[in-house]
Homo-oligomer: A and B are copies of this chain.
């Protein structure tokens, strides 16, 4: 949260803002730690609930705990909305949306009390898992990684699309060879064959679908060797991008006193924009 979201000084709103939104005072640090612990517990509880044995034994206990946590996080969310100066900016920020999404599922399970719809609603309930993402906020190093990933976003999209197109063609070829010609039941249609192609080219290799014919194995070999060159591409992209990010960080921090330009060569003696002595 930028400092221009700070409320008027010396009010109760400002004090709460300092505790909730800052991370550098003793009080705000204590708040962060407690919040992190509560989030962790609530996530562990929802995971334990999913284990049938525990769910049957302690159904009501789980419900009470879930409502307690949801209540707590709802209050926290409302307080956040109140103390922040520009409410809409927080509400539509990444963490504002995550905060909202992590309390909604419990309430949604309440409204839609239909019988067989129940299962579908539980999908939304379990989205509370998104709370986990809250923790990312507290770590500073994430920015360099995110910047590098953001900068290579379009290249990675092109790459992923190319992989998908290539795998579609190879999957179709394998469907014809294994499924149609050799009657391998593991390749019953093109979508399943494409699923196999992705499992193979990503080097995951479950082994639930494998070729049995010599021709199919030959094509598989070619796909896996291709996979070598392919996995090298995103690594190379992110690697080159990170190199640049890190180089930019270590660049000179001098600011030209005349035109305020930043980002000079560490060896430079004159401003690159106005020619003034640095």
Contacts and interface: CB of A to CB of B under 8 A. Distances in A.
Interface of A: 43, 46-47, 50-52, 119, 122-123, 126-127, 129-130, 132-133, 135-136, 139, 141-142, 144-145, 148-149, 154-165, 168-169, 172-173, 175-176, 180-181, 188-192, 194-195, 198-200, 202-208, 210, 214, 217, 220-221, 224-225, 227-229, 231-244, 246, 262-265, 267-277
Which 7 A-B pairs give the minimum distances between C-beta atoms?
Answer: A270-B275, A268-B272, A204-B205, A275-B275, A206-B207, A207-B207, A236-B239
A170 to B, nearest CB: 9
A272 B264 contact: yes
A208 B217 CA distance: 12
Contacts of A203: 202-205
Given A189-B50, A228-B234, A235-B231, A141 B168 contact: no
A226 to B, nearest CB: 9
Contact of A237 (B165, B242, B276): B242
A200 B243 CA distance: 28
Contacts of A155: 141, 144-145
Instruction: Give chain A's interface secondary structure class.
Output: helix
Nearest to A51: B189
A104 B264 CA distance: 54
A234 B240 contact: no
Contacts of A156: 228-229
B172 A158 contact: no
Interface centre among A195, A214, A232, by most B CB within 10 Å? A232
Contacts of A210: 206, 208
Given A139-B161, A267-B273, 13 more contacts: A51-B188, A126-B176, A141-B157, A145-B233, A148-B236, A192-B217, A195-B217, A204-B204, A205-B206, A228-B234, A236-B239, A264-B272, A265-B265
Given A52-B188, A203-B204, A275-B276, A235 B239 contact: yes
